[in-house]
Structure 1
């Protein structure tokens, strides 16, 4: 079977159950193998996702910020080994922290998105870049700069300020004029939340059905996680990085070389199936994205989603396995059967060796599973019974591919419960 056919078959098996939301581009040797949109860009107006739909790309932005810094280094407007205090004169510890520390997330600056009130309050409020920097600059460093890895959106806020100061341009203008437009990426830019971006998807979460995600004010994400793009533009970006179109080879290689652990500058470098790949994940207010670049093998996988619960990182790696001829599983069709013993399985369940609590409940005669996901946020999915006999009953969830299987004893009592999450990790559950 041809690779394109295997990819389409796998994608179709997920899509028929409504498990894909967003756009997906897969390329090998710069030939596009798959370029499709799935699900809904805007639920209010029933607008479908298509390959040209724009998405907020979250922290995939950091790669663009790193490129801007390296371009300014190449033009000798700054040096990546300069201390940030050279450009941000009143920044505390500015004579200890270098631009390179910020690029490689080894600055020790506390990450402002980790502040206790960020998700519930701060992210909803407008802020200037200076106000944002003022909010964390007096905080104690978490470690000596350059000694450890510590992911920090704050460090990328400093880089944004340095780009603006050195270039005498706004971050948004710099990215468009020096990166996007020279490459023909006309569907990529900085989303300030005010200007209308045509073709931009809306971001969603899930509770029994698609719901609005928590509001994020877009005045301050900027160079940390503020860009929008399309899979097609990001594929252009991928090719430009390989051909050293907007940055010399030596500096591009420095930018893509890990410093501490696997983090380079706006990219991570890891191994999958003994193959090196350059990658980054992004998420912001209902959007999640993943970008995998197997540079040596000339394979690129870009998945942009506007449903925050979509496990894009897992799915993109499953796709990589298919491309490299490994076997992967795919979901059975979610065809509901009759199941009358709903009351018998309702209740709270605890994951073995864990503190995660799952709740099974009934609403309007339908079974639902409530389960915590990333950042501990709760989601509620309808359970679809797909098989039932004297030995076991199997359920699939709506929206993401998860399974719940009840095994029965000879007397018909529930003997054990297995929960297979969207990362295909199997867990035993115990009723509280």
Structure 2
């Protein structure tokens, strides 16, 4: 079977089940195999996602910031080995931290997005870049700069300031003039949250149904995670990174070389399915994305989504298996069957070997729902659709994400245990907590 046909079968089943949201581009040897949008860019106005839909790309932005810094290095306007106090003279211990440390996430500066109040409060508030830096610059370093890797958006905030000071341009202006314009990336830019961006998708989360994602003020993400783009523009970016159009071959190699762990400068370089891959994940307020570049095999996969619970990385790994002709399983087709005793199934279930992890199954309007923890500890609530039933077990598929819940019955017809299989094929056995039986009726109905 040709690779296009295998991709088509996979896409058809996932789309049929409602598991794809966003835009996907797959290319091999410069030839585009798939370029398609899925789901809605804007649910309120029934606007579908298309290949030209713009998405906030989160930390995929870091690769652009790194490129800008390396370009300025090549022009002799700065050196990546300069200490940051040359450009930020009042930054504590700036004489110990280099630009290259910032590029490779080896500064030791605490990551501001990991602060306890960031997700609940700070991210919603407008802030200047200087105010943002003031929020972390006096904190104690987590380790000696250059001695280890620790992901930190703070370093990329510093790089944004340095880029602006040295170039004499705003971050948005620089990216447009020095990267997007030369490459014809006309649908990429820095989203300040004020200007209207035509064809920009809305970001969503999920609780029984799609809901608005938590608001994020866009005055300060900038060079850390502030860009928007399209899959088609990012493919132009991918192709340009194979040439010396933006940067010399020697500096490109330096930019793509990991310092510690597998992190280079704005890119992760590691093996996926035994093949070298340059990649990076991004997410911001309802948007999530990933970018796989198998340079040796000339394969590129880009997935931009505007639904926060879409497991883009896992789905791209499945696509990678298809491209390289490795076995891949399709999700079961969602064909509902009738079951009668739904109340029997509702309850809180404690996961075996982890009493802190609870699966909360609730009944609402004669429908069963599973409340489960997802990325960053966020609770999401998915409808359970029964697809098979007999005296020994009932199998459910979840809506929105390809997961399963299997209820096993004893000879007397009681729930013996449940098995939860997440999208990564991790399996968990859980047992009903009878002590909480009286509190299950309404639990999980309010986010």
Q: Do structure 1's residue 330 and structure 2's residue 330 form an aligned pair?
A: yes
Deviation at 1:431, TM superposition (A): 1.5
- Confirm whether residue 177 of structure 1 aligns to residue 170 of structure 2: no
Q: Give the Cα–Cα distance (whole angstroms) in 2 for the partners of residues 91 and 183 of structure 1.
A: 35
2:160 is the counterpart of 1:160 = yes
Residue 397 (str. 1) matches residue 398 (str. 2): yes
Partners of 2:134 and 2:288 in 1: how far apart?
Answer: 28
Q: For structure 1, which runs of at least 5 residues remain unmatched after alignment?
A: none
User: d(CA) in 2 for partners of 1:161 and 1:356?
Assistant: 42
Q: What is the match of residue 268 of structure 1?
A: 268
Q: CA deviation at 1:352?
A: 2.0
Q: Please say if 1:5 is aligned against 2:5.
A: yes
Return the alpha-carbon distance in structure 1 between the equivalents of residues 4 and 357 of structure 2.
39
The whole-number CA distance in structure 2 between the counterparts of 1:350 and 1:294 is 41
Structure 2 residue matching 1:182: 3-state secondary structure: helix
Q: Is the 8 A contact 2:23 2:231 kept in 1?
A: yes
The CA distance in 2 between the partners of 1:265 and 1:123, in whole Å, is 25
CA contact (8 A) 2:416 2:431 kept: no
Partner of 1:374: 375
- Give TM-score scaled by structure 2 length: 0.96
Alignment partners' CA distance in 2, 1:358 and 1:40: 29
**Take 1:431 and 1:280, find their aligned partners in 2: how far apart are those partners?**
39
Q: Tell me, in whole angstroms, the C-alpha distance in 2 between the residues paired with 1:342 and 1:133.
A: 53
State the shift of 1:404 in Å: 0.3
Other-structure match for 1:423: 424
**Deviation digits for residues 18-50 of structure 1 (CA, Å, limit 9, x no counterpart):** 110000000110110111100000011010001
1:18 equivalent in structure 2: 18
Which blocks of at least 5 consecutive residues in structure 2 are unaligned?
Answer: 434-447
Q: How many residues align?
A: 432
Report matched runs for 1:167-316 at 5 Å. Answer: 167-316=167-316
Displacement, 1:390?
A: 1.6
* Equivalent-residue separation in structure 2 for 1:228 and 1:350 (angstroms): 41
Q: Which position in structure 2 is the counterpart of 1:387?
A: 388
Q: 1:211 & 1:423 partners in 2: Cα distance?
A: 24
Can you list the C-alpha shifts for 1:100-125, whole angstroms capped at 9, x where unaligned? 00000000010000111100110000
Aligned to 1:67: 67
- CA shift at 1:336, angstroms? 1.2
1:39 and 2:39 correspond: yes
Q: How does 1:2-151 map to 2 (within 5 A)?
A: 2-151=2-151
Q: Deviations for 1:56-106, whole angstroms, at most 9, x for unmatched residues?
A: 000000000000000000000000000000011111111000000000000
Shift of 1:391: 2.3
Tell me by how many angstroms 1:245 deviates: 1.4
| 1:320-343 Cα deviation digits (max 9, x unpaired) | 011111111111111211111101
Partner deviation per Cα, 1:276-335 (whole Å, 9 max, x = no partner): 100000000000000000110111000000000000011111110111111111111112
Confirm or deny: 8 A CA contact 2:417 2:432 kept in the other structure: no
Partners of 1:291 and 1:37 in 2: CA distance = 16
SS for the counterpart of 2:348 is strand
In the other structure, the counterpart of 2:339 is 339
SS at match of 2:135: helix
Deviates more, 1:400-409 or 1:155-164: 400-409
Which has the larger displacement, 413-422 or 74-83?
A: 413-422
- Per-residue deviation at 1:407? 2.0
Match of 2:353 in 1: 353
Q: Once the 2 structures are TM-superposed, how far is the Cα of residue 206 of structure 1 from its aligned partner?
A: 0.3
Matched-pair contact (CA < 8 Å) for 2:82–2:99: yes
* Secondary structure at the counterpart of residue 235 of structure 2: helix
Displacement after TM superposition at 1:274 (Å)? 1.4
Q: CA RMSD in A?
A: 0.8
- CA–CA separation in structure 2 for the residues paired with 1:396 and 1:106: 42
> What residue is the counterpart of 1:413 in the other structure?
414
* Cα distance in 2 for residues equivalent to 1:89 and 1:132: 16
- CA-CA distance at 1:353 after TM superposition: 2.3
Q: Secondary structure at the match of 1:281?
A: strand
**How high is the TM-score relative to the length of structure 1?**
0.99
